[in-house]
Structure 1
Amino acid sequence: MKSLPILMLLVASGAALAQPQPPAAAPSGRAESPRQATPAQAAMPLSPGTQVITLEQAERLLVERNLAVIAARRGVDSARAQRLVASSLPPAVVSAGNTFGQFNEGGRPAAGSPNTANITGARFLGPQNNVTVGLQVLVELGGKRTLRTRLAEENIGAAEAQVLDALRSQLYVLRQNFFTALGARANLEVALANRAGLDRTEALLRRQLRDGAIPEGDLLRFQASRVVFENDVVTNAQAYAAAVAQIAVTLAADAADFRPGEPPAVPTRRGATSSDPVRATLSAIAFDVQGRFNTIPDLGIGREELGAAVQDRPDVVAALRQASAAGANLALVEATRWRDVTVNAGFARTRLNQNVPSGTIPLLANDQFSMQLSVPIFTRRIVEGNVGVAAGQAGQADALARAALLQARADFAIAWSAVEQSRNLLRVYTGGALGRAEAAYRSAEQAYTAGGSSLLEVLDALRTLNATRLAANLARTNYLVALAQLEQATGVSGVSPRL
């Protein structure tokens, strides 16, 4: 009977711990104050500046901010600009110039005549006295401009598929980190609730010790047994902060640059310092994730439908388009067997020196028109070598496309197996494991009431219940991550749960 008050408090604490965690409240943009939070969230020592974020909000931010997606979009812009270049005619070259100086050169003087200079009439002429104008045009043969345009369009298609693939990959990373953060948050809520219940039990034990109702050894054994629960609080707080930091990376946010406000006040346990490491860990996180973690979504689609959709996965489509682009490049290189012709047209006008003797009609200037055609020769070895390079690249691209499809099929098989296994394991916990752990805890309490067991046996049962609940949270996390992995493996949107 002396232990009855202790038992009553343990029963009340155990009943509170055995209750399932309520679903997270819908986010309102900021973390709720302790007075507004639910009982399970009241002990979360978050900073007032921590932003509450849901999965839907995070996905929208990812589309706008993720650096990998932005880089892929810039690749599309580059490919489209290259199409403008590829579809243009080879630019003509216009040249203009003039002779800026001239002189006359005479022959050797005759024998016996005075030695005179051989250079006479040196002068510098202005631009108005002579001018040379030229036009050079490259005439492409073999339809090279059309083939270049086709190659550029194939590259645009591949770049667009790469944007979708980058979005697919980054969404999976975000969802994986988000579900991991939800699991860590649920574990932290369990650990904080455990610690609060144990604090109340220890306070009662201290009062019973002062009243002489229990020996001091019971209190010491109780304090030694709660170390595991204290370690759970710190470990889960660190895991939650780490998962939130990874979410910040995918959203292009600097997780280390967050300036926290004053953390909410939490009661200080007797014998504990005011600087709680959990508060120090959580007060500087930039986001507080929210979602219906206890929801167990159904897949809603069959294996055959998902398997058929794998061939439309963005990375498979990108590989196919890159193979098509390699084929277009081969056709372009083969067109170089047609030798291009360069046409040069020119006009030159030179004003003649007026002190040169002339006929009856004075000559003022000399006008000349010219036309030249040039064709490269001895290009066969170069062309054949380039064709061989392009053919090899086309073969490589085709092999990579087939390998991408096979890898996608393997990813789908692995992801489907992971979904099946994680769903079966989750059913084990939700179907009876938690209930059996709670029943074992209640049985230990009843045995303690009847005097058939010790307080440590009750604590062992509580540890088992706590471990089972943490394992159930892990099973939920793994199932949600497996669904996100299945969506990534198939490329089918909507498979990943909407929390």
Structure 2
Amino acid sequence: MKTGLLLILLFICLKLQVVAADTSAAADQETQGPTPERLAELVKSTTKRTSIKLEDYLAKVAASNLGYASQRYNVTIADAAIMASRVFQNPVIQVGNMMDITNGGNQRLPGYYNGFVTQTFELGGKRRIRYLVARKNYAATASTLQSFLQNLRLDASAAYADAIAMGQVAAQFQRTATLLRELLQAQQERQKAGDISDVDLLQTRVEVRQFEAELLAAQSQATSAELGLNAFLGPQFSGTHWQPVGTLDVTPHSTDLFKLLSSAIKNRPDLIAMRYQRDAAKENINLEKAKRVPDVNVGVGWTNSTYSGNNTSPQPNYNMVGLQFSLPLPIWNRNKAGIASSEAMASQAQLDLENAEVKAGVDVRQALSLYGMARERVDLYKAGVLKDVDSALEKRVVSYKRGGSSLLELLDAQRKANEVWMSFYTAQSDHARAVIELHRAAGIWIIHF
């Protein structure tokens, strides 16, 4: 019998050593970095540009963003906490044996074999209240996840708007470079005909090279902004070169201050999460009060007394069954500290919520003010500035071809047109971001470019 036990223990030790070795090998493999397949997925790239609309891009963000996928596990954990709150405590089984080791043979006193099963029953509604607290915490976690997704979508929309703006800047530089190349070709023909001097030709050539360098810089920034869209996507898109489709003519869902404030207070998921956290803190007060009611332990036991032929104390073989109750007396500890702590936490949660609601109102007012100024800037350019600068440049080109303007005047008009268009694209980009921040402050998801 002892040999068999030793063999079993030896087998268990060997098995534990094998499991530990496998675990250590797996840990060593994990610290060595990603697998070749994972590495290939991260470093793959393509030169092909893939057109994508904002709605499709945001759908891919929600489906593949690893940060959002990680945050979803918080909801799973909170759901598991709900299940745990409804589980009864496990019963406890006790088995024992007592025997006489002083006497031997027929004089051995009787031995005892006993077994007990004890179950704890919670009183005072603790299990029900604990379930309510877990439900409130689950709702708060779900709202926090919604807040994370909303901010993720809005941040991705801002990156999408930047990519559009950078593309527009690059397109403007491309138009300028094309115009100057045509001008250079015309200058070369006029120089051959003797209409202009070598100095004018050289000046035009310098300007063309200058704008080509600026064009390359603008294209580089546009490419960087387009590739930056992958920062919000999963690794399967890490090598994709996106081409955002759309314009920056975006309008907010509403500009009415009362509606925006109402939307912020009612719909912002971070505020909703804080309300659930406050409710959970209030329910936790009831749970701490319920803990003043002691739990009862109920046990059922069986005892067997063996036969004994001892001359002094003979005893027959017999069995006994017993029932026992265990109840702590709440004399010294009435859980006053737990109740006071939970009440303070509930008051703190209420003040945090009120402070967040005040800050949400300030955020809405600030975002609406910034949007108004950004809207005025865009309208100023659209009211006639863009049309006027293009018309002035076109007339300057015609005048130069007819000999009524100098080359320097034409180039100065071209630079002025570029500056105005760059300022307009910047104003458009700022306006789009202002709309995004207004929606963020008001708790609005919808955004269209």
Same fold (TM over 0.5): yes
TM-superposed deviation, 1:377: 5.6
Distance 1:405 1:298, change over 3 A: closer
Q: Give the aligned partner of residue 292 of structure 2.
A: 337
Distance 1:305 1:476, change over 3 A: same
Q: Read off the aligned partner of 1:373 and give its amino acid letter.
A: S
- C-alpha distance in structure 2 between counterparts of 1:247 and 1:351, whole Å: 81
Q: How many residues align?
A: 402
Q: Read off the aligned partner of 2:383 and give its amino acid letter.
A: G
Deviations along 1:324-357, whole A, 9 cap, x unmatched? 111111221122222223334322223234x435
Pairing 1:422–2:404 present: no
- C-alpha distance in structure 2 between counterparts of 1:461 and 1:215, whole Å: 21
Distance 1:362 1:326, change over 3 A: closer
Unaligned runs of 5+ in 2: 1-44
- Within the candidate set 333, 348, 367, 1:380 is matched to 333
Q: Give the aligned partner of residue 74 of structure 1.
A: 73
Q: Give the aligned partner of residue 237 of structure 1.
A: 219
Q: Give the aligned partner of residue 83 of structure 1.
A: 82
- C-alpha distance in structure 1 between counterparts of 2:323 and 2:201, whole Å: 111
Q: Give the aligned partner of residue 274 of structure 1.
A: none
TM-superposed deviation, 1:289: 1.2
Q: Read off the aligned partner of 2:345 and give its amino acid letter.
A: Q
Q: Read off the aligned partner of 1:347 and give its amino acid letter.
A: W
Q: Read off the aligned partner of 2:82 and give its amino acid letter.
A: R
The answer to whether the Cα contact below 8 Å between 1:155 and 1:322 also exists between their aligned partners in 2 is yes
- Within the candidate set 162, 166, 171, 1:189 is matched to 171
Q: Larger deviation: 367-376 or 482-491?
A: 367-376
Distance 1:362 1:321, change over 3 A: closer
Distance 1:146 1:186, change over 3 A: same
- Within the candidate set 139, 157, 164, 1:175 is matched to 157
- C-alpha distance in structure 2 between counterparts of 1:290 and 1:461, whole Å: 31
TM-superposed deviation, 1:179: 0.8
Q: Larger deviation: 73-82 or 218-227?
A: 218-227
Which TM-score applies when normalising by structure 1? 0.73
Which TM-score applies when normalising by structure 2? 0.80
Larger helix fraction of residues: 2
Q: Give the aligned partner of residue 302 of structure 1.
A: 256
Instruction: Map 1:185-264 onto structure 2 (within 5 A).
Output: 185-226=167-208, 228-253=210-235, 257-258=238-239
Q: Give the aligned partner of residue 367 of structure 1.
A: 320
Deviations along 1:106-144, whole A, 9 cap, x unmatched? xxxxxxxxxxxxx544999xxxx8642212222322211
Larger Rg: 1
Q: Give the aligned partner of residue 348 of structure 1.
A: 303
Q: Give the aligned partner of residue 457 of structure 1.
A: 409
Q: Give the aligned partner of residue 42 of structure 1.
A: none
- C-alpha distance in structure 1 between counterparts of 2:364 and 2:127, whole Å: 42
Q: Give the aligned partner of residue 436 of structure 1.
A: 388
Q: Read off the aligned partner of 1:428 and give its amino acid letter.
A: L
- C-alpha distance in structure 1 between counterparts of 2:172 and 2:312, whole Å: 114
TM-superposed deviation, 1:427: 0.7
The answer to whether the Cα contact below 8 Å between 2:112 and 2:306 also exists between their aligned partners in 1 is yes
Instruction: Map 1:85-100 onto structure 2 (within 5 A).
Output: 85-99=84-98
Q: Give the aligned partner of residue 471 of structure 1.
A: 423
TM-superposed deviation, 1:316: 0.9
Deviations along 1:141-174, whole A, 9 cap, x unmatched? 2211111011011111111211221121111101
Q: Larger deviation: 163-172 or 339-348?
A: 339-348
- C-alpha distance in structure 2 between counterparts of 1:253 and 1:130, whole Å: 67
Distance 1:130 1:104, change over 3 A: closer
Distance 1:334 1:225, change over 3 A: same
TM-superposed deviation, 1:484: 1.9
Q: Read off the aligned partner of 2:262 and give its amino acid letter.
A: A
- C-alpha distance in structure 2 between counterparts of 1:289 and 1:68, whole Å: 23
Distance 1:142 1:344, change over 3 A: same
Pairing 1:403–2:358 present: no
Q: Read off the aligned partner of 2:382 and give its amino acid letter.
A: T
Pairing 1:138–2:120 present: yes
TM-superposed deviation, 1:492: 2.8
The answer to whether the Cα contact below 8 Å between 1:72 and 1:159 also exists between their aligned partners in 2 is no
The answer to whether the Cα contact below 8 Å between 1:340 and 1:376 also exists between their aligned partners in 2 is no
Instruction: Map 1:86-125 onto structure 2 (within 5 A).
Output: 86-99=85-98, 102-105=99-102, 120-121=104-105
